[in-house]
Structure 1
Amino acid sequence: MPRIERVITVSAEPVVVESAEPAGGVTVRRARTGDVPRIQQLVEPLVMEGILLGKDLVVLYENVQEFRVAVDASGEVVGCGALHVMWEDLGEIRTLAAAPHTRGTGVGHAILERLEDDARELGLSRLFCLTFEVGFFSRHGYHEVAESIIAQEIYYEMLRSHDEGIAEFLDLSRVKPNTLGNTRMLKAL
């Protein structure tokens, strides 16, 4: 029997958040390769709206170990999110998405909380996100940042990365169309 960790209110009714079944009867677990097509299905509408950065199927498979998924009682993957380590103390929350019928039920909260726990286990002390969902991340302790949050020597090291998310973080001109209107946010763990 999972132990109760806390009770949160995500709409008019309180939802009990447990270690095994976080919110709305979903379980958050590490993603498996068999989840990748569903992750792409969850993300694709948000890519079409310009909310998330598109990723080819091969990239999702290459990065499946970074993902957590929320699975409902029927076994359907209803949400996903990834934690990407950017530097010794810094990680990025990426590709956080929930199925339309689950939005506002705590699925995103449960995934984000699990990713933050993963970050702590890895020894990260700061999490970054680039988002249109400022309200959601603000409610979870993230705050807007305008200035660079890394030292210049780290910036130059990170320039060597071929990762598009790192390019967005560094605010490189080649990814400007992907980042227009997004807000850079940071949370200290």
Structure 2
Amino acid sequence: MPSAESAPTSPPLSVTTGADGIRIRPARTADVRAMRALVAPLAEQRVLLQKEAVAYYESVGDFVVAERDGEIIGCGAVHVLWEDLAEIRTLAVASSALGHGIGSRLMERLMERARELGVERLFCLTFETDFFERHGFEPIEGQAVEPEVYAELLRSYDEGVAEFLDLERVKPNTLGNTRMLRVL
């Protein structure tokens, strides 16, 4: 049995705190209720898709949160779709915290995480094209993957993958959204 000294250790969780006291940190399971509450009004406005609680718990490792005085005021996820491709998902900021660069700080951390994972391209499906363009995303049409990868991605149960592939069955959920891509 290895000694405590030789046992592998996990890297410390990456937490950044701005001069304004807002912390950007990896999400924890205890954050899921707050994240869902944050997304709920945006889902009602059909800006984001509402997800079941189980979907958040299953993907909590994909998320980072913005926290101020113990309150979750923003969240976002980077979800790997393929070897070189990931999606920015569920990027949301509380209406009371808009206009303070929190979305940009979340985006920067998500792009940093994508690079750590070895991802070369980031996809998003969004109404907020100006925000994503400021972060280097460009609208795309057609397929952004080779036919072999497309065929593999068709096997995924993930609705986000179906949205990336622009499948007909998800179009009612994505009307008006723009598919965008950024090369890291």
- Equivalent residue for 1:104? 99
Classify 1:23/1:120 alpha carbon distance in 2 versus 1 (closer, same or farther; 3 Å): farther
* Per-residue deviation, 1:22: 3.7
Any conservation in 1 of the 2:75–2:90 contact (CA below 8 Å)? yes
Which protein shows a greater Rg?
A: 2
Spell out the pairing of 1:55-134 with structure 2 (5 A cutoff): 55-72=51-68, 74-134=69-129
Cα distance in structure 2, aligned partners of 1:155 and 1:112: 26
Match of 1:141 in 2: 136
Structure 1 residues 119, 84: CA separation in 2 closer, same or farther (over 3 Å shift)? same
Task: Give the Cα–Cα distance (whole angstroms) in 2 for the partners of residues 36 and 136 of structure 1.
Answer: 25
CA 1:178/1:28 → structure 2, altered by over 3 Å: closer, same or farther? same
- 2:50 is matched with 54
Q: Is the 8 A contact 2:122 2:182 kept in 1?
A: yes
Range with bigger deviation, 106-115 or 21-30: 21-30
SS at match of 2:17: coil
> Structure 2 residue aligned with 1:37, among 22, 33, 40?
33
User: Which residue of 2 is the match for residue 157 of structure 1?
Assistant: 152
4+ residue runs of structure 1 moved beyond 4 angstroms? none
Give the whole-Å Cα distance in 1 for the aligned partners of 2:67 and 2:76: 12
State the AA in 1 paired with 2:57.
Y
- Does the Cα contact within 8 Å between 1:47 and 1:53 map onto a contact in 2? yes
Partner of 2:7: none
Alignment partner of 1:25 out of 18, 21, 28: 21
Name the CA distance, whole Å, in 2 between partners of 1:91 and 1:42: 23
2:82 match: secondary structure: coil
Query: Which ranges of structure 1 fall in alignment gaps of 5 or more residues?
Result: 1-18
% identical aligned pairs = 55
Determine helix, strand or coil for the equivalent of 2:113: helix
What TM-score results when the alignment is normalised by the length of structure 2? Answer: 0.90
Counterparts of 2:60 and 2:144, CA distance in 1: 27
SS at match of 1:95: strand
- Secondary structure, counterpart of 1:86 in structure 2: strand
Shift of 1:54: 1.5
Provide Cα deviations, 1:67-114, integer angstroms capped at 9, x if missing partner: 000011x11110000000000000000000000011111110011100
Aligned AA for 1:105?
A: H
